[in-house]
């Protein structure tokens, strides 16, 4: 008998942001393979007695290899279990989803993908701003600030990232933003372009700070704090109230 895998998007951390379908799958799963950022209070909604397996990846820390995670998914499903692969934010955004769905397809195992709240939209909501602004921010782009080596990717479209009429969200970009900002400015983006640094969105530790891209680059220069954060820059709404 072959089981089934549900890729459940856990959102940015607050269990209240889980969808009803995500909550249902957690409550009936026999095994939950979870990311680091999907742990904590969200796991309290898993079925009592379910196997809880940490497979999260964090920069600079020992982490399970991707092929090991994929193999675990296949092995649990082949034993006939209902499996939840709990991914932080939305599973389809920088979550290595395709590697895992490919492994399941090759093994002949069925799966579903349950979308969720990504940290970009959660950060904008927490800051009280829209990601698009009429006549000012006509599009939104999500990019990663680090490649597999942890360096700034070399193949990014810098002209697009320096578009003043776009809102850009940078995932995993704290350690590389100083270099990115230099390149943005050299491609014509104003150093005074507004930027937000959002830590631990939707959790009790949430902190959202306002900068320009130039002052944020200086703030993050040589930063060693590995805590997760997301960066937004572009035609953001003006400052309004306390964002902490």
Active site residue ranges? 35, 57
**Cα three-residue angle 42-148-84, rounded to 5 degrees:** 25
- Give the phi and the psi of residue 102 in degrees, each rounded to 5: -65, -40
Q: Does residue 158 contact residue 183 with C-beta atoms inside 8 Å?
A: yes
Contacts of 208 by beta carbon, 8 Å cutoff, 6+ apart: 123, 126, 127, 196, 197, 198, 199, 201, 243, 244
CB contact at 8 A, 180 and 152:
yes
Helix axes 97-106, 66-78, angle to 10 degrees: 40
* 110 dihedral zone (left: phi>0; alpha: psi -120 to 50; beta): beta
**Residues in CB range of 57: below 8 A, 6 or more apart:** 35, 36, 63, 64
Tokens of 211: 């900068």
């Amino acid at each position: 008998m072959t089981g089934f895998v549900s890729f459940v998007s856990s959102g940015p951390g607050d269990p209240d942001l889980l969808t009803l379908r995500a909550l249902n799958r957690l409550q009936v799963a026999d095994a939950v393979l979870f990311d680091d950022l999907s742990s904590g209070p969200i796991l309290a909604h898993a079925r009592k007695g379910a196997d809880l397996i940490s497979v999260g990846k964090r920069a600079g820390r020992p982490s399970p290899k991707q092929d090991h995670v994929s193999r675990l998914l296949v092995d649990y499903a082949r034993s006939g279990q209902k499996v939840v692969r709990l991914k932080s934010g939305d599973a389809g955004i920088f979550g290595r989803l395709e590697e895992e769905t490919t492994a399941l397809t090759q093994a002949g195992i069925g799966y579903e993908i349950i979308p969720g709240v990504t940290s970009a939209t959660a950060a904008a909501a927490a800051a009280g701003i829209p990601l698009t602004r009429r006549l000012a921010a006509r599009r939104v782009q999500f990019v990663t600030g680090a490649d597999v080596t942890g360096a700034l990717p070399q193949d990014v479209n810098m002209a697009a990232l320096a578009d003043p009429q776009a809102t850009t969200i940078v995932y995993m970009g704290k350690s590389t933003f100083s270099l990115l900002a230099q390149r943005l400015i050299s491609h014509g983006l104003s150093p005074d372009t507004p930027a937000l640094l959002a830590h631990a969105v939707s959790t009790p530790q949430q902190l959202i700070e306002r900068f320009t891209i130039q002052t944020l680059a200086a703030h993050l220069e040589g930063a060693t704090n590995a805590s997760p954060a997301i960066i937004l820059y572009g035609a953001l709404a003006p400052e309004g109230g306390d964002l902490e």
